[in-house]
Amino acid sequence: MSDDRVMYDSLNGSGRKIAIVAGLFNDHIVGKLRAGAQAKLTEHGVASADISVFHVPGCFELPIAAQKLARSGKFDAVIALGAVIRGGTPHFDYVCNACTDGLTRVALDESLPVVFGVLTTDDLAQAEARAGGEHGNKGEDCAETALATLAMLDSVDAL
Ligand code: INI
């Protein structure tokens, strides 16, 4: 059993306040990530009342939303969800880069876990496979990542 597994087996979300922010672009995919994240948080003991869901138009808007949520002081972690599917222009790369860089910056600037639940895929089939398909559900993974990261940060505080 790996150390990772031990950590994930002992996740406890009781008392955690989690914000989920989801892009509405490709909502047929992102909606499944959102549902997966909510279900997995609940499974690990996060109260439904402590899970707040917000929406933005697309992944490009995730960083400003995450920044606002982080700065509010009302949440222990932010889970950012979205799906960017490659088209025929460089637009894909600009949206992915801005979103990735922005979310990374918010996490470090605000010292708060901002979990990256953005699918960046070449086509719709790859996105579907990661939104409850053969490759699992990225939203569920992000819920566990948020709780695992919070537990790790707490363990440092407890030293
Ligand atoms: N937003 C996404 O979340 N996914 C996409 O695939 C996408 N594509 O392909 O264009 C997308 N574009 C919108 C973008 O996130 C912004 O909402 C828009 O540019 C306004 O700022």
Residue among 84, 96, 100 to mutate when testing ligand 1 (max atoms within 8 A of CB): 84
Domain 19-158 fold is Rossmann fold (3.40.50)
pLDDT per residue as tens digits for the range 31-49: 999 999 999 999 999 999 9
Which of 30, 56, 60, 101 maximizes ligand 1 atoms within 8 Å of its Cβ, making it the mutation to test the pocket?
A: 60
- What distances in angstroms separate CA 64 from CA 55, 75, 138, one per listed residue? 12, 15, 22
For atom 6 of ligand 1, the residue with the nearest CA is 84
Per-residue pLDDT at 4 = 56
Q: What pLDDT is stored for residue 3 in this prediction?
A: 56
Beta-ladder partners of 133: 136
* pTM listed for this prediction: 0.95
What ranges do the domains of the chain cover?
Answer: 19-158
Residue 114 near residue 20 (C-beta atoms within 8 A)? no
Q: CA triplet 139, 2, 143: central angle to 5 degrees?
A: 15
Q: What is the pLDDT of residues 55-104, one digit of tens each?
A: 999 999 999 999 999 999 999 999 999 999 998 899 999 999 999 999 99
d(CA 9, CA 7): 6
> Which atom of ligand 1 is the closest one to the Cα of 99?
15
Q: Is 135 a catalytic residue?
A: no
Q: How far is ligand 1, taken at its centre, from the CA of residue 99, in Å?
A: 10
Residue having the nearest C-alpha atom to atom 1 of ligand 1: 58
**In this model, does residue 1 exceed pLDDT 50?**
no
* C-alpha 55 – ligand 1 centre gap (Å): 13
Q: Looking at 28, 55, 91, 135, which residue is catalytic?
A: 91
